[in-house]
Amino acid sequence: MTPRPGKGVAAEGERLQKVLARAGLGSRRACEELIEAGRVTVNGAVAELGRRVDVEHDEVVVDSVPLSVRSGLVYYLLNKPAGVVTTASDPQGRPTVVDLVPPDPRVFPVGRLDVDTEGLLILTNDGELANHLTHPRYGVEKEYFALVEGTPSAGSLRRMRQGVDLEDGMTAPARVALVPPGGLRITIHEGRKRQVRRMCDAIGHPVHRLVRTRIGPVTDRRLRPGSWRVLTAQEVRTLERAAAQSPKSRPAKGRADLAGDPTKADR
Q: What is the CATH number of the domain that holds 106?
A: 3.30.2350.10
The verdict on 62 and 154 lying in the same domain is no
- From the list 177, 173, 149, the residue with the least C-alpha distance to 160 is 173
- From the list 242, 238, 147, the residue with the least C-alpha distance to 186 is 147
Q: In the chain, what is the straight-line distance between the N-terminal and C-terminal CA atoms, in Å?
A: 53
d(CA 114, CA 83): 9
* Residue 95, in any domain of the structure: yes
* Residue 2, in any domain of the structure: no
In angstroms, how far apart are the furthest CA atoms of the chain? 72
Q: How many domains does the chain have?
A: 2
pLDDT band at 2 (very low <50, low <70, confident <90, very high): very low
Dump pLDDT digits (tens) for 129-187.
998 898 877 889 999 999 999 999 999 999 999 999 999 999 999 999 999 888 999 99
* Residue 3, in any domain of the structure: no
Q: Which residue has the higher pLDDT, 47 or 266?
A: 47
Whole domain around residue 140: which residue ranges? Answer: 72-267
The verdict on 86 and 193 lying in the same domain is yes
Dump pLDDT digits (tens) for 191-240.
788 999 999 999 999 999 999 999 999 999 999 999 999 999 999 999 99
Asked which of 33-42, 59-68, 75-84 is least confident by mean pLDDT, the reply is 59-68
The β-bridge partners of 143 are 187, 214
Q: Mean pLDDT highest for which of 55-69, 139-153, 252-266?
A: 139-153
Catalytic residue numbers?
114
The β-bridge partners of 229 are 77
The verdict on 215 and 159 lying in the same domain is yes
30-59: average pLDDT: 93
Phi, psi (degrees; rounded to nearest 5) at 240: -60, -40
- From the list 131, 139, 176, 142, the residue with the least C-alpha distance to 156 is 176
Q: What percent of the chain lies above the pLDDT cut of 90?
A: 66
Dump pLDDT digits (tens) for 96-108.
999 999 999 999 9
Confirm if 74 and 107 have CB atoms less than 8 A apart: yes
The verdict on 82 and 149 lying in the same domain is yes
pLDDT band at 24 (very low <50, low <70, confident <90, very high): confident
Q: CA quadruple 153, 211, 95, 261: dihedral positive or negative? A: negative
